[in-house]
Amino acid sequence: MTGDSWRVRRRALQGDDPAESRRAAQLLDALGTEERDEEEIEAEHRASRLAAAREYAPDAQLEEELQLRLTGPDTDGGALRFEWGDALLEPVENLVSAAAGTPVQLELTGISAGSTVVHARPILTPAESSHPDTLRVSATSAVASGLGTLTQLLDALESERDIREWTKLFDALESVSRALSRYTLDLGVTWYSADGTLRRARLTARGRNYVKRLRETRDRDQEMIVSGRITELRESGMVKVKTGTAKNSLAYEVHFEAPEELLRMRPGLGDNVHFRVRFRQQLDSMGIARSAEYTYLGPAAEQAALPLEP
């Protein structure tokens, strides 16, 4: 039974009796109406099941489940196309792992209609699956914590808020976002935890467009001196300069926009050089450096400057 379905049936049964219909209407008006979706009702049912189970086994927990609801122009049949699975399932697993801070393995347990709903759960270790006092124990507490983090991030994207506290998840998130955009799909994430609670969030076109905007970059240039010895040369116009003799000394790949200029210099491996270079970083909207490039500007005086971390 879901929502107000019992109210509807009550009205139908008494529809031929005007007096009973009036009494039913007055009763329903007194009780009021409550708008709840199926997931909220399911969460309440799970909490009730857990409370009943704990009457007999105080440490009992419910089976965990991750539901991924795909909605879009081609999802009415409730089926999962192979190409969607190839593009989405592994990136989603990687995103959950990034949010949990530990590798997480998920297994597919079913697909149902209601658009396309994918049911999954964390894979248990043998020690966990043999636990005697649980309906199904949590694979790791990190999974539940990670899904909590993930739903917060998705909520922030959908409302276009600052997400810099989750920058470590952004690469994995972008992979999922790109896959969804490729097939014009929206993603709903619902996590049913072992303690009966529910977490839910969505990634729609609005959130995906926000991800794209956050990825837009701007250039930041500064001039610096690179001093050291040449350890690699390429005809394409690249010189690798190592700043010290230690194995872990910084090394810079300096690019010549005109390779013939490098040829005229006739450098050799092991030569000491002092280059004036342009250090260009591409920064995204969150201030994260997406690329760094060193371009030769000209010779520098023979004194070494403090090296700049690449």
Q: What are phi and psi of 63, to 5 degrees?
A: -70, 130
Structural domain includes residue 121: yes
Average pLDDT over residues 160-168: 90
Residues 271 and 194 in one domain: no
Residues 140 and 156 in one domain: yes
Structural domain includes residue 197: yes
Percent helix, strand and coil across the chain, each to the nearest 5: 40, 25, 35
Residue 177 has pLDDT above 70, yes or no: yes
- In terms of pLDDT, which residue wins out, 25 or 123? 123
Structural domain includes residue 306: no
In whole numbers, what is the pLDDT of the chain averaged over residues?
81
CATH number of the domain at 224, please.
2.40.50.140
Average pLDDT over residues 150-160: 95
Residues 227 and 162 in one domain: no
- In terms of pLDDT, which residue wins out, 137 or 190? 190
Best mean pLDDT range from 73-77, 129-133, 215-219 = 73-77
Residues 51 and 154 in one domain: yes
pLDDT at residue 305, as a whole number: 46
Residues 231 and 129 in one domain: no
Residues 250 and 107 in one domain: no
Structural domain includes residue 272: yes
How far apart, in Å, do the first and last CA atoms of the chain sit? 61
Question: What is the number of structural domains in the chain?
Answer: 2
Domain stops at, among 158, 183, 215 = 215
Residues 162 and 209 in one domain: yes
Structural domain includes residue 50: yes
Q: What are phi and psi of 77, to 5 degrees?
A: -75, -10
Nearest C-alpha neighbor of 193 from the set 125, 130, 132, 143: 143
Average pLDDT over residues 161-190: 93
Q: Which residues contact 3 (CB under 8 A, 6 or more apart)?
A: 35, 36, 37, 38, 41
The DSSP bridge pattern shows strands 289-299 and 251-255 to be parallel
- In terms of pLDDT, which residue wins out, 57 or 121? 121
Structural domain includes residue 199: yes
Tell me the pLDDT tens digit for each residue of 254-301: 999 888 888 888 888 888 889 989 998 887 777 677 788 999 988 887
Q: What percent of the chain has pLDDT over 90?
A: 32
Structural domain includes residue 22: no
Helix (H) or strand (E) holding 106: strand 106-113
Residues 177 and 146 in one domain: yes
Residues 103 and 233 in one domain: no
Residues 241 and 154 in one domain: no
Domain containing residue 149: 39-215
Residues 99 and 232 in one domain: no
Residues 262 and 191 in one domain: no
Domain stops at, among 215, 238, 272 = 215
Structure pTM? 0.64
pLDDT at residue 1, as a whole number: 40
Tell me the pLDDT tens digit for each residue of 90-129: 999 999 999 999 898 999 999 988 789 999 988 865 544 4
